Structure 1
Amino acid sequence: MRLVESRLTGPVRVVGVGLLGTSVALGLRQRGVDVILADASPTHVAIAVDLGAGRAAAPGDAPELIVVAVPPDVTAQVVASELAAFPDAIVTDVASVKAGILQELRDQGADVTRYLGSHPLAGRERGGPLAGRADLFQGRPWVVAAHDDISYRRASAVDDLILDLGGTLVEMTPEQHDRGVALISHVPQVVSSLMARRFIDAPSDALGLAGQGVRDVTRVAASDPDLWVQILGANAGSVRDILVAYRDDLDRFIDALADPAAPGARRRVAEELAGGNAGVSRLPGKHGTDKRFATLTVMVDDRPGQLARLLAEIGEIGVNLEDLRLEHAQGRQVGLAEIAVLPEAVDRLSTELAARGWRIAG
């Protein structure tokens, strides 16, 4: 019996049961869809089956839709193979680069009238089937890389997949997608990794000063290098263009710092920093808006139940929590909870929490 109504009727074949593939499968199984699992690793298939993500592939399977979730450097090859093996199925993939895959399929003479690439902008630091989550795509942008060779009727199966899994459907051309992800994902990965590389020979006492800011900047530096070599190689042109512009920004900054007392040097530094303010203000916030929130920092004792108590009391006060970030205070048995709320609510929340005995740090 289906727990949630599904737009897809199935069966859906998922090729590659790592993080994304298993998450797709788990989400579809929650909606009662028959999911067929295939992977180069029988162990991965067995784990995914044990997790309830579907059943192992068998002769005679006739999938309605095929989702290819394999590494980027073999995606086109696997998509072409699936198109040939299942001539009645629609095939999509979830690779993070789109234009090169479509071109490679066309060069091979594959039937791209049944192929529509897609890319969910969702993930976790861990990979593999055990990291899969049925809710991974909830509320996340999921790009459909539209092209002229596929009909609307066939493309609708991919739309249904995205909507069934709770994604927010975004339509772009493959080229628009690749330029977009270079800016918001691929170049930030490079910048984060290069910044974290500075830590290799850094003194331990300096690293001991690290707070949430540097952890935010370098969080994605922990990502899999092998995967990112593939992604960056596949989107090299778009990534390089942005890195060249970024290098120009750095050069201006370096030149200004060479003699900060020189006429105009401080102005140039201020302009570069203000440019960052202007850029970050354009990033969509919660609910896809650009509303800026006020932040209140509350000290939370490192004891069981304290964070739960804080959140419960915020609810009792009647203030909506827009975002929450936790940081451990260095050398102290206390945490810092950075609470984001609407600006008009921050003063009342601060007063009410202080009256209840909470220590407000800022």
Structure 2
Amino acid sequence: MNPSHLLGPVLVLGSGLLGASIGLGLRARGIDVVLSDPSPSAQAVAVDIGAGRAFDAAETLVPELVVVAAPPDVTAQVVAGALLRYPSAVVVDIASVKASVLNELTAREDITEKDLSRYVGTHPMAGRERSGPVAARGELFNSMPWVLCPSEQSTAHALKVAHSLAIDLDAVVFRFSPEEHDGAVALVSHLPQVMASLVASRLQETPSNALSLSGNGLRDVTRIAASDPSLWVQILGANAPQLLEILKGVRTDLDRLINTLSAPTAPGARLDLAQLMAEGNAGQSRIPGKHGGPAQQYSWLTVLVDDKPGQIARLLTEIGEIGVNLEDLRLDHSAGLQVGMVELSVLPSRRVLLVDELTARGWKVIQ
């Protein structure tokens, strides 16, 4: 067991996916975690999976840290209650919007600057399509960004405790102001969710024979459209001003594309389409690559495997024997055939070796 930075106990208010995952991660380091949730059943499940022990109102609890894992629309209210009830504890929240929570806390007459000195807004950039404590994983935050958004009132001690929480969960810590955070997540998180949902909504009346042609492109674009609508109503509403400006830019680009496609053979139309695609290439290339480093252009190849147990494991084992490191992997299936298609991403300098070695071992490689 690795040593922890937090001493505990840690009180987690909310035992959904994130709250229970925090509990599991901290318990793995031997930290005393106490769970409290308005839903007795959710709390009971979180306790049963080992995320912590149940809150006992009769216990005199003096937590080192209170983690508020409540829905965004009640986060500020729960944070305020924790600040008032536990006057020696540092209080953090993990809501996906930060400025609105801080503004609501600052406006409260019962919360003083001294109270706010113990508060730090945070946001772990991790999650799953599934929700609830049954989907919790102690490793959920491993190597994922965890943003700290201290206010002007936050003390160095409060910031240190918030930092310790992220480190104990093996996250990668970033520091933003609340406004910087909300602007960033509007672009890299909230916009993709909206666009995925808009694309997926077009599929509602699509004939099933058309959907049978779907490939990884459609699946990749719409994967996060399966997210919880009630949660996203709160997130989008709380961060509406930041997201609205980005959506206006998207609308300008859409209007430009619609105008061009209305006369696709007009002079300059093809050039404009090419420029739109190139602008997408330029933006995509700026997304950080593996381990958060600079994006690289990797080479892709596809290997056909029989759709039966053990084939993908054997393929990955043989790639390891060849000595080529995989940068990424995607799995698809051939429509109507019992064949899987494993798309592999490698450094360009290793592509020829991998193709030759896999072919020599009897694998069918599509270049």
TM-score, L = length of structure 1: 0.98
Structure 1 stretches of 4+ with a deviation exceeding 2 A read none
2:153 partner SS:
coil
Letter of the structure 2 residue corresponding to residue 60 of structure 1: T
Q: Partner residue of 1:22? A: 20
Check if 1:57 corresponds to 2:92: no
Count how many residue pairs are aligned between Structure 1 and Structure 2.
360
Task: Give 1:292 shift.
Answer: 2.1
Distance 1:33 1:321 in 2: 36
Task: Give 1:44 shift.
Answer: 1.2
Q: Partner residue of 1:286? A: 290
Matches within 5 A, 1:55-204: 55-58=53-56, 59-109=59-109, 110=111, 111-204=115-208
Q: Partner residue of 1:45? A: 43
Letter of the structure 1 residue corresponding to residue 283 of structure 2: G
1:116 partner SS:
strand
Check if 1:265 corresponds to 2:269: yes
- Range with greater deviation from structure 2 (288-297 or 278-287): 288-297
Matches within 5 A, 1:232-271: 232-271=236-275
- Range with greater deviation from structure 2 (166-175 or 196-205): 196-205
Task: Give 1:112 shift.
Answer: 1.1
Distance 2:8 2:313 in 1: 41
Q: Unaligned regions of 5+ residues in structure 2, if any?
A: none
1:339 partner SS:
strand
After superposition, the CA RMSD in angstroms is 0.8
Q: Partner residue of 2:324? A: 319
Deviations 1:143-197 (A, max 9, x none): 0012211111221000000001010000000000000000001011111101111
1:37 partner SS:
strand
Matches within 5 A, 1:292-331: 292-331=297-336
2:120 partner SS:
coil
1:297 partner SS:
strand
CA contact (8 A) 2:27 2:51 kept: yes
1:117 partner SS:
strand
Q: Among residues 346, 355, 362, which one is paired with 2:360 in the alignment?
A: 355
Task: Give 1:211 shift.
Answer: 0.5
CA contact (8 A) 2:119 2:150 kept: no
Q: Unaligned regions of 5+ residues in structure 1, if any?
A: none
CA contact (8 A) 1:299 1:335 kept: yes
Distance 1:303 1:219 in 2: 25
CA contact (8 A) 1:4 1:32 kept: no
Q: Among residues 320, 333, 342, which one is paired with 2:347 in the alignment?
A: 342
Task: Give 1:323 shift.
Answer: 1.2
Letter of the structure 2 residue corresponding to residue 331 of structure 1: G
2:74 partner SS:
helix
TM-score, L = length of structure 2: 0.97
Distance 2:199 2:248 in 1: 17
Task: Give 1:328 shift.
Answer: 1.1
Check if 1:224 corresponds to 2:228: yes
